[in-house]
């Protein structure tokens, strides 16, 4: 049986998303920004985030990357299950991720993007688990930093369960 404990409330999340959106709005005001949502976990965060960004023309694309499958630990091998539809050459690109853990998946994707010659690539993550980092990756915008723990809710799943929870919870095995 799995027990869960609340980590971040709806109000905590709304405040963090608003803070991040304000900074992105400042950094890109008057310009264009291609926001790339890493599916599936980041879709709720991205949805709230784009509605709070002001003064920026936003274009949206999606990518599906996998290094976990149905496991709670990374395999270390990254697979692109769905690539971008739009070209990124000459564009400011902001990758929106739910959680940055080991950094393996995100570094792989950022390296792929850089080969496509964008104007810039920045990273936005709802959750940063810096202590678990296995590769160097810089995060430009972060909602929350957290310790280790397997989290669900607000779009983040465990084997496709719990995405619909409006808060972020930590799962604990009994």
**Domain spans of the chain, in order of start:** 10-68+75-148
Q: Report how far residue 161's alpha carbon sits from residue 24's, in angstroms, rounded to the nearest whole number.
A: 30
For residue 166, the number of C-alpha atoms closer than 13 Å in the C-beta half-sphere is 5
Q: In the structure, what pLDDT confidence band is assigned to residue 1 with cuts at 50, 70 and 90?
A: very low
Architecture of domain 10-68+75-148: 3-Layer(aba) Sandwich (3.40)
Positive or negative: CA dihedral 66, 56, 13, 120? positive
Just list the catalytic residues. 101
**Strands 120-128, 57-66: pairing kind:** unpaired
- Mean pLDDT across the chain, nearest whole number? 91
Q: State pLDDT tens for residues 64-115.
A: 988 755 445 555 678 888 889 999 999 999 999 999 988 998 999 999 999 9
pTM: 0.90
């Amino acid at each position: 049986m799995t027990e869960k404990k609340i980590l971040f409330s709806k109000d905590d999340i709304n405040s963090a998303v608003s803070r991040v959106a304000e900074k992105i709005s400042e950094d890109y005001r008057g310009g264009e920004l291609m926001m790339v949502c890493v599916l599936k976990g980041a879709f709720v965060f991205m949805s709230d985030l784009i509605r709070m960004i002001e003064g920026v023309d936003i274009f949206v694309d999606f990518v599906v990357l996998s290094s976990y499958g149905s496991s709670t630990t990374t395999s270390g091998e990254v697979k692109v299950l769905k690539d971008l539809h739009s070209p990124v050459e000459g564009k400011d690109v902001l990758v929106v991720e739910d959680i940055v853990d080991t950094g393996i998946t995100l570094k792989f994707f950022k390296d792929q993007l850089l080969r496509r010659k964008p104007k810039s690539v920045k990273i936005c993550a709802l959750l940063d688990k810096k202590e678990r980092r296995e590769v160097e990756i810089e995060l430009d915008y972060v909602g929350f930093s957290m310790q280790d723990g397997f989290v669900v809710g607000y779009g983040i799943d465990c084997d496709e369960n719990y995405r619909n929870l409006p808060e972020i919870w930590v799962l604990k095995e009994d």
